[in-house]
Amino acid sequence: MRILVLGSGAREHAIILALRSEEVSHAIYAAPGNAGIARDAHVVDLDANDPVAVTEFAKTEAIDLVVIGPEAPLVAGVADALRERGIPVFGPGKAAAQLEGSKTYAKRIMDAAGVPTGRAVRARDLAGVEAALDELGAPHVVKADGLAAGKGVIVTSDRAAALAHAEAYLPTGPVLIEEFLAGPEVSLFFLSDGDRVLPLSPAQDFKRLRDGDEGPNTGGMGAYSPLPWLLERFGGEEEFVDQVTREVAEPVIRQMDAEGTPFIGLLYAGLILTEAGVKVIEFNARFGDPETQVVLPRLLDPLSTLLMAAASGTLEDQPRPAFAEATAVTVVLASEGYPEAPITGRVLTGIDEADEVDGVHVAHAATVLRDGRLHATGGRVLNVVALGTTFREARSAAYEALGMIGLEGGQYRTDIAAGVIED
């Protein structure tokens, strides 16, 4: 196939690497891409958020499938424009993308579908925020209602900090004050064609900047898959996935279809395993980052076949995706100052050496090739991804490779997947 992947991060690089790993050779285009993606796809100078530009390119180049990586093109209606021209696209339309673009919309859908989630109060001003904080109590959970690149959330027992966070986002729209839910978190992806869903393998990511889950929330500092500890509580991964499919994914997809906003693409369920059961923290309308980087390398089925089936409404013809028993760990290398004020433009070294470590590959997130040298262009710069037969093996390889990469002021967590190391 001729496939266009929209986006410029490590998630999109992971998608492209999965497509390239298939036995059938595809012509893969990426817009706008990055330095790493440019090694594995034809990078084109195209505004991924412009529905007209994307559609015209897809028509001109006879693209068979468009895969939308990040949230911004979804909310901009790029998928709608492509579908209107008859071009298969993996990604929900603008209306369905509200599931991520508006926390209030997502809560309403969950309530209508009977999906378990925490209580939430929507506030438009500081007085409303204060009342909601008092009503729900500490620890306080305050979320920007709209898109915030994974950094619009604060969880704190400090009321003043919660108010300050709300005050920072209120000029852009309402905020949600939510009930605090305690327990381990799980990310689970579902492919949807608007009618049927197929689950992928679960992962766990690490949102806080520093070891021990300290520091500010980020877009994600690392992840691992599968989750062996699901065995003790649910009897295994398959049992857990089946439960979430029945209680979360299928009801949401049915509800959205009934409302005339079918969800076609990747439904990301951010879950928390509370003492009262599995509850949804949030939904995203696209592959999660950095979880995609550890889920897709374990996928045994051709990704292109699954994405096209979702885009064309034929998921019912596909078996449940199968995954290798391998363990996967990814660690994010971030720029100095991330997430508040990342310092960009610094030189990266050692990437090729890191790529040579057995079981390791590097997924680029924010890199550019300038004067023959790689430079960091954003907060999260790259992901070191390692596969192994055990988590000990995968972690060891990931950190060995990371140690070969040079970035002045670069920072990363040293405890990714440490809790699942085998005795």
pLDDT digits (tens, 9 = 90+) for 206-259: 999 999 999 998 999 999 999 999 999 999 999 999 999 999 999 999 999 999
What's the pLDDT score for residue 143?
A: 86
Helix and strand numbers, DSSP H then E, in the chain: 15, 24
Name the pLDDT band for 423 (thresholds 50, 70, 90).
Answer: low
Nearest in space to 174 (alpha carbons), one of 87, 269, 90, 104: 104
pTM for the structure as a whole: 0.93
Distances (CA, A) of 272 to 125, 183, 188, 236, 416: 29, 6, 11, 17, 18
Name the pLDDT band for 194 (thresholds 50, 70, 90).
Answer: very high
pLDDT digits (tens, 9 = 90+) for 107-147: 899 999 999 998 888 888 999 988 889 888 889 989 887 66
Q: What is the mean pLDDT of residues 247-275?
A: 97
pLDDT digits (tens, 9 = 90+) for 345-356: 999 999 999 999
- Of 161 and 321, the one with more pLDDT: 321
Name the pLDDT band for 102 (thresholds 50, 70, 90).
Answer: confident
What's the pLDDT score for residue 337?
A: 98
Gap between the Cα atoms of 325 and 315, Å rounded: 24
pLDDT digits (tens, 9 = 90+) for 291-327: 999 999 999 999 999 999 999 999 999 999 999 999 9
Gap between the Cα atoms of 101 and 147, Å rounded: 5
What's the pLDDT score for residue 263?
A: 98
Chain-centroid distance, C-alpha 10 = 10
Residue 296 DSSP code: G
